[in-house]
Chains A and B, each alone.
Chain A
Amino acid sequence: MRRGIRGALATALVAGLALAATGCGSGGDGGGAAGGELSGTVTFWDTSNDAEKATYRKLAEGFQKEHPKVHVSYVNVPFGDANAKFKNAAGGGAGAPDVMRTEVAWVADFANLGYLAPLDGTPALDDTGDYLPQAVGSTKFGGKTYAAPQVIDTLALFYNKKLLQDAGVAVPKTFTELAAAAQKIKDKTGATALYLRGDDPYWFLPYLYGEGGDMVDAAHKKVTVDSAAGVRAFRTIKQLVDSKAAVTDATDGQENQLKALKDGTVAMAIDGPWDIEGARAGKAFQDKGNLGVAPVPGGSTAQGSPQGGWDLSVYAGSKNLQAAYAFVKYMSSAKVQQETTDKLSLLPTRKSVYNVPAVKQNEMVAFFKPAVDGAVQRPWIAQGNSLFEPLKVQMNKVLTGAATPEQAAKAVGDAYRKLLKDYT
């Protein structure tokens, strides 16, 4: 045991020296361990959901087959807790994982705070030209690369084909069309047209983009959420709920939405590829073909959904950097990405994987790929993730009638200016 750890340290040291000496960018085989075999433990925090985690665990532990002396310690951390948990551990200097599956908005934040190891010139980044350019966007901060893209996603409209057919309505292309079809759906099938996630501000973005708005204009350092578009977006969600075209919740939205969709009590929901497996497990989709996916409905001037996804980042304080780098390389490799697509219908970040026949034939990928290509990139700034909390508070307030759309938009704008000191 003791020898193993010392061996790992020696390996890391030698590998580090070798890299420094040669300035070599991408290591060769064996995870770039120039001085010998990798060993020790790699702790991996995975943030995938309940339907996905078994697959991720198996994939992560598959690393041990390639590197028998490395032990992968797999830990599933629920998405909602992961950000705070990592910050507590990393800031406190104890308990942080070597590698974490990091949400795209968190990378710049963590990097800004010094928690992540820059990956440029390490074995973690392998064949970077193969990554989709929009997936690479979220991995950069301050001119360095802090993560390897693993999964890319966006929001789309999930719909119950049978319910829409029974009601005799087409898949709505705008929220206005959706509202107009709601009564028909209710009368003919008893189901509510839409589940509107009132608990999570990420789900507000399609409404905001649909009105031609955005949270901030990072290029011009301007807060834009309190523009007329922002007000219209708040008004849209309020009207959908007031007219009973949509049901909503201020808590437990993820579970409630998925359950409503699975049980067929709602005909449509805005959701991402991470819930494909979960939805298909429900009684409304026993016939897997019943789940339809369409672009998110548009607003009065535009149509758009946010680009999301997951990156793999390495903790700067990791005791086993070389093994961590090799693990990131493995988890973002074409082989592993192809498996996550096969098993979970998640979207790969490598161009080459889209050419694999099995991936090409996956209908969810066939739908989501163009959606991802057209998705709106979020501002990859350090405070990117903090922009959501004020939005959540005001979204709740609008939906419960505690604030008007105008008051809400103004309050979010004010909160953003407090957060982003140099913005106007």
Chain B
Amino acid sequence: MTLTARIRRAFGTHWYAWTMVAPVVLVIGVIIGIPLVRGVYLSLTDANEANVERSIGMNHIPATYHFTGLDNYRAVLTDGVFWDRLGWTVVWTVGCVSLTFLTALALANLLNRRMRGRTFYRLALILPWAIPAFVSVFTWRMLYNEKNGILNKLLAGGGLDAVPWLNDPTWAKLSVIAVNVWLGVPFMLVALLGGLQSIPGELYEAAEMDGAGAWQRFRHITVPGLRAVSGTVILLSTIWTFNMFPVIFLLTRGGPGDATEILVTYAYRLSFVDSPRNFSASATWGMVILAVLALVAVGYRRALRKQGEVW
């Protein structure tokens, strides 16, 4: 059978599937594919706001940017700034994800019991998720204000010194992590609570009959029972945190200095703060960030598979 005949046959059998998938492929192609391809292209040029072509009213600006090959990538990877920011981004991601996961796991276990007012607690813990992120971040920023914020007023009431929440590099790092954990817990909590409820109660009963203690039950029933759910939420949370732009940008703008600047906020700075906006450099940063995340995802999946997880 020739190749064309084979394709024709495949299409003939599965034409309805192709038709069903077509709109999705088209939409994803337009909203993800085109920007992605354009990003790759820009990262191979020296394009910036001043040399791309455009016409505004009476002003016409011709395109004068050039193809520069891998120069941008070389510049990023040999720049100390990139490695500094990558280091902090990794600390930030690992710190946030682990704290979020542990807090959510503890809370989910608490909320999984029968107790008075359980619905109220569940609703209260979901609340951070219901508020738009920028609103919560601005609220936190007011709480953190060193001179006039409530947090320091409370400390002063207890006779303690004011803490420079966002004005000291170390405190600023802790502060942004705290806010991100606060924002991230609800999602993890809901996911883990779902996971907990899918573990059959008989397992716990049987274990109890065999004389297993609370820790043993947690260790040998709850943890394995949650593995599939936690694997997914940890990977998602890692990707989100790695690219968590609003928390850092709205809280500290990457400051003080560049203490809390992560890779995405730095890419933003290149493309929106400096002038002329450096399209090619920020596209390059975008591609490098994408590559790092792709590596993380592949590595993580492989690790899960080794543990016998089908994902």
Contacts and interface: CB of A to CB of B under 8 A. Distances in A.
Contacts, number: 111
Interface stretch (A70-78, A108-116, A147-155, A303-311): A108-116
B29 interface: no
B56 A90 contact: yes
B167 A250 contact: yes
Interface string B61-85: 1000000000000000000000000
Contacts of B256: 250-251, 396-397, 399-400, 402
B147 A249 contact: yes
Contacts of A118: 58
Interface stretch (A29-37, A57-65, A352-360, A380-388): A380-388
B148 interface: yes
B277 A87 contact: yes
B309 interface: no
Nearest to B172: A250
B166 interface: yes
B274 A389 contact: yes
Contacts of A84: 272-273
B160 to A, nearest CB: 18
Interface in A68-122: 84, 87, 90-91, 93, 109, 112-118
Contacts of A385: 275
B57 interface: yes
Interface string B248-272: 0000110111110000000001001
A256 B144 CA distance: 13
B35 interface: no
A315 interface: yes
Q: Binding site of A, secondary structure by majority: helix, strand, loop or mixed?
A: mixed
B208 interface: no
A318 interface: yes
A400 B50 contact: no
A234 to B, nearest CB: 13
B257 A113 contact: no
Contacts of B205: none
Interface in A236-295: 247-252, 256, 259-260
A386 B273 CA distance: 7
B148 A256 contact: yes
Interface string A384-422: 011001001110110110110000000000000001000
B56 A250 contact: no
A386 B270 CA distance: 11
Contact of B275 (A109, A117, A315, A396): A109
Contact of A317 (B56, B145, B167): B56
Contacts of A402: 169, 256-257, 259
Nearest to A88: B272
Q: Name, among B58, B147, B148, B253, the residue most crowded by chain A CB atoms within 10 Å (CB to CB).
A: B147
Contacts of A117: 57-59
B275 A318 contact: no
B147 A256 contact: yes
A221 B169 CA distance: 35
B227 interface: no
B258 A393 contact: yes
Nearest to B171: A400
Contacts of B275: 87, 109, 113, 382-383, 385-386
Given A249-B167, A403-B257, 16 more contacts: A93-B56, A247-B147, A250-B172, A251-B141, A256-B145, A256-B148, A259-B147, A259-B148, A315-B56, A317-B57, A382-B50, A389-B273, A393-B258, A397-B258, A402-B257, A402-B259
20 contacts: A91-B54, A93-B54, A109-B275, A112-B276, A115-B59, A116-B59, A199-B255, A247-B147, A250-B167, A251-B167, A251-B252, A252-B145, A256-B146, A256-B147, A256-B148, A259-B147, A316-B59, A317-B57, A389-B273, A403-B257
Give me the 4 closest cross-chain CB pairs, A-B, nearest first.
A316-B57, A250-B256, A397-B257, A114-B59
